[in-house]
Structure 1
Amino acid sequence: MKHFLRMLIQVCLYFYCKFLWRCLKFVMRKLTGRCELQRICYNTKPGASRTMKIETSLRDSKSKLLQTSVSVHPDAIEKTIDDIMELKKINPDINPQLGISLQACLLQIVGYRNLIADVEKLRRESYDSDNPQHEEMLLKLWKFLKPNTPLESRISKQWCEIGFQGDDPKTDFRGMGLLGLYNLQYFAERDAAAAQQVLSDSLHPKCSKFSKAEWEKKRMDKAIGYSFAIVGINITDLAYNLLVSGALKTHFYNIAPEAPTLSHFQQTFCYLMHEFHKFWIEGNLFIVDHCPPYKSLSEFHSIPRHEFGIGFPREISKQVLVREKKV
């Protein structure tokens, strides 16, 4: 009974607040002579703040046209803006900047939705060893990470040197599909020097970052390291969840003047790889792969969100815990 009453009160409060909000919008419209979309565009600077306010306004509108405008095809955005201006009885000749501002916001909003679809498609596509394109990407990953070391054969224990679990990496991509491979290759190709350094640190952290005295002071085992590729796949999972949850909207709406693309997502992945590696180096974290329970990145989620600059949500960042046995 108490639970029912609590839910009833919450429902009543929701509709009460919604009613008050609509009354406030009506009053503001009468006082300023501008609709909510106009007030947002004129009073808020371009960027994430404006776009997210526009998105909320469109979604919460009682107009079907405004509600569906956030999911139109990119080619239909211009016509949608014209329809909105007509619905709101706004003269585009008197308010030319409004149409431009709304179009920029809708490009970002629709682009974010389309980016989720593109990323999801890659995530659902399984690695196929019979697909020449997939095989070529995998071999390129090796070349970018180990340019001076030839791969002896496609099925080889050498794959463990870049952080895969066995002699055939295709089994490690089951969790995130081709998306994991796309991200790893992007990182290795576009930021080759950094990727090779991160790989080297993951294999030989004692030699690369700390003196012998420092490591002895920290009481760290010389074999401490982590599996580069497996961590990359788990970071891909983290980036994917950040994207789908909407946590990356602020970041993408600020850096992408129009529609965010797959390259923006991959750049975010590279950033997360750098941040993870930095946190691992500074935080005395390590992973053991011989027996549970694993000592892993359990403190990574406690980093304050503002330090990542992309609205890093703590509840999602917990998913970066490296599950080497579960990929």
Structure 2
Amino acid sequence: MLGYIWHYVYTSFLRYWLKWLIRHVTGKCELQRICSEYRPGASRTTKAEYSLRASKNKILRGALESRKDNLEHCVDQIIKEKNIKPQKDPQFKENLHICLLQITGYSSLFISVEDLRKEVFNSENAEHEAMLLKLWDLLMPTVKLESRITKQWGDIGFQGDDPKTDFRGMGLLGLINLVFFSENYTDKARQVLSHANHPKLGYSYAIVGINLTEMAYSLLRSGALKPHFYNTVLGTPELCHFHQLYCYLAYEFDKFWVAEEPESIMHFNQYREKFHTIVKSHLQDPSVSLTLTVLSKN
């Protein structure tokens, strides 16, 4: 209760007067201080985002909802509104623009990811089918698929004879992530598949991959991935950056699973949550970068 009261008092009264005092002492507004005193990346952008969101000024708050093609205009409006002299702080405009590209880009990325998640895999869609068959060819180049519906799909970790039923939760997003990893890190994907097919330590490669897509999606939706993207993308994060994050999760989960040596796949949920906790703890580090260190084919 006391914490809530203090937060209310600080955000409603003290913060405004503290900002006013510091500005008169330093000659710089809060956004200027953030953009000049903090290094590029999550340390700077998260503070800029908080400052804009907490502002009582509609122009500053509105910048968080702006389109990419309108951000430069937003920055000019903020400069005018805060009476900032560009000649005295020549780097401010560029630094704030980058922060806004990252902040608004994160929101746009979630919309794009959500659209793919909602898109149902359709076996009558030629593009969907081609993507699924491509996954097989990438992972099993020496084995011919006998037919579209076959028990062979179990060899790469699908549950039934027709993989389309396994994409219900994550839609097309689950398949795209599996293909992206297999196409861009083919050797590593095949290595992970070989571990998944281990007689004792094995797990369902494709099903676990879709599960990890759900993990990545949930972290994105909650905002937990902001530090990662703010540190790794100097500008607007795109879908390819989300797919790259999935590759990190797929590769690191396999390493984690093999090292843990679970007694049975029946304990998957327990180890999945343990891995999830590890990832979330990494994301608490302002300098976090969940980047796959092995080389991509591209």
- Using structure 2 for the length normalisation, give the TM-score: 0.90
Counterpart code for 1:14: H
Q: Does the CA-based 8 Å contact 2:52-2:64 persist in structure 1? A: yes
Aligned to 1:137: 131
Aligned to 1:179: 173
Unaligned runs of 5+ in 2: 286-298
Q: Does the CA-based 8 Å contact 2:195-2:201 persist in structure 1? A: no
CA RMSD of aligned residues (A): 1.8
2 CA distance for matches of 1:276 and 1:189?
18
Residue from 97, 104, 125 that aligns with 1:103:
97
Q: 1:65-104 alignment to 2 at 5 Å?
A: 65-104=59-98
Q: Does the CA-based 8 Å contact 2:34-2:44 persist in structure 1? A: yes
1 CA distance for matches of 2:102 and 2:258?
36
Alpha-carbon displacement from aligned partner over 1:283-315 (angstroms, at most 9, x marks no partner): 012544xxxxx3224144446747974449xxx
Q: Does the CA-based 8 Å contact 2:201-2:263 persist in structure 1? A: yes
Offset of residue 11 of structure 1 = 5.2
* Change beyond 3 A, Cα 1:60–1:178: same
Alignment pair present for 1:60 and 2:54? yes
* Change beyond 3 A, Cα 1:299–1:227: closer
2 CA distance for matches of 1:88 and 1:232?
48
Unaligned runs of 5+ in 1: 1-5, 205-221, 289-293, 313-327
Aligned to 2:183: 189
Offset of residue 152 of structure 1 = 1.0
Aligned to 2:8: 15
- Using structure 1 for the length normalisation, give the TM-score: 0.82
2 CA distance for matches of 1:307 and 1:15?
28
* Change beyond 3 A, Cα 1:155–1:102: same
1 CA distance for matches of 2:135 and 2:271?
29
> Between Structure 1 and Structure 2, whose CA radius of gyration is higher?
1
Alignment length, in residue pairs? Answer: 283
Residue from 197, 205, 227 that aligns with 1:250:
227
Offset of residue 230 of structure 1 = 0.1
Aligned to 2:270: 298
Counterpart code for 2:47: K
Residue from 197, 203, 210 that aligns with 1:203:
197
Q: Does the CA-based 8 Å contact 2:42-2:230 persist in structure 1? A: yes
Counterpart code for 2:118: R
Offset of residue 47 of structure 1 = 1.2
Counterpart code for 1:74: K
Offset of residue 14 of structure 1 = 3.0
Counterpart code for 1:298: Q
Counterpart code for 2:203: Y
Q: Does the CA-based 8 Å contact 2:157-2:204 persist in structure 1? A: yes
Alpha-carbon displacement from aligned partner over 1:231-255 (angstroms, at most 9, x marks no partner): 0000000011111111111111111
Q: Does the CA-based 8 Å contact 2:201-2:261 persist in structure 1? A: no
Counterpart code for 2:206: A
2 CA distance for matches of 1:137 and 1:63?
48
Q: Does the CA-based 8 Å contact 2:224-2:280 persist in structure 1? A: no
Counterpart code for 1:240: Y
Aligned to 2:293: none
